[in-house]
Amino acid sequence: MARVLRLPDHGRLLVCTDLQGCMRDYVRMVEVFEEALLQYQGDAHLIFTGDLIHGPHIDPEDWPDFLGEYYRDASGEVMIAYAGLAARYPGRVHALLGNHEHGHIGGPHTAKFAADEVALLEQILGPSGTARMRGIIHTFALAAVSKCGAVFTHGAPAAQIESVADLEAADLSGSQYASPLDVLDTPVVGKVLWARQASQVEARRFLRACGGTMAIYGHDVVPEGYETVGDEQICVSTSFGLFDANKVYLSLDLANRYKGVRDLRIGHEILPLYPSKAPARLGGRLQVS
Ligand SMILES: [Mn+2]
């Protein structure tokens, strides 16, 4: 897979951020996508912006509130389901690399819910399951660009690039470093996969290099669902770390040209994953009696 995915200039695009092994939210997002395929005569796309894997293995009684809605990690199943969906709808289902996937193909091993989550998942999957998962991860792009102005990455748009070619040339293997951790300090891959914030100067430079007007990413948890930064950045939380009421996804018109994140409206481009649980603040239908 090319490092940079170029989205078409027509159709609907649904955007889902960090699932971290949450099968229930994955299934709900697929339902939203299949509804869009019907609504837009088959011209719909779905993009996952990385970190589809590595969730908690915690019993309900030990579950801390800050992790949001309870679920149990199903990383291996989510990856297999993703590959099946991508095969069922060729060219319409996409995923970007997250820092958690990168650990399986040369990046530093993450330690969010285990001392070594990469080793843990590979142990659960076994050698053939691991090989299969790595094959799927190798199809993930590092970034996605579009004519509608949206540029997608896993982390915040802090990468120091002059053009898309700098992303195309990125080496993800980690083989050039003394330690996989050294990738964190690199100006392109380290930022794309790990940056939690970008200054306005960094974001504008990144967007100019990509020919875009707004950066859309996840990686961080926004408990309220999403957060805009200036005119050009939006961090979206579709699943991980949130309660169902606050989970949101984006729905973009690829034929449009968005001037920036202020063009994204609640109830139109910003939508609740579970409308019946979401407050009116997020365009939900929750009735308060
Ligand atoms: Mn991440």
Residues with CB under 5 A from ligand 1 (ion): 51, 98-99, 219
Question: What's the mean pLDDT when you consider all of the chain?
Answer: 96
pLDDT > 90? residue 287: no
For the four alpha carbons of 174, 176, 181 and 187, in that order, the dihedral sign comes to negative
Residues 235, 262 contacting (CB under 8 angstroms)? no
User: Residues 11-63: pLDDT tens digits?
Assistant: 999 999 999 999 999 999 999 999 999 999 999 999 999 999 999 999 999 99
Distance 231 CA to ligand 1 centre (A): 23
The alpha carbon of 192 and the centre of ligand 1 are apart by a number of angstroms equal to 10
pLDDT for res 179: 80
pLDDT for the residue numbered 82 = 98
As assigned by CATH, the class of the 4-282 domain is alpha beta
CA of 52 to the centre of ligand 1 (A): 9
State residue 289's pLDDT score: 55
Q: How confident is the model at residue 286 (pLDDT cuts 50, 70, 90)?
A: confident
**DSSP 8-class letter at 86:** H
Buried/exposed code over 130-150 (b: 16+ C-beta within 10 A; e: otherwise): bebbbebbeebbbbbbbbbbb
State in Å: Cα 276 to ligand 1 middle. 28
Over the Cα atoms of the chain, what is R_g?
A: 18
pLDDT-above-70 percentage for the chain: 99
**Which residues have C-beta within 8 Å of that of residue 171, sequence separation ≥ 6?**
189
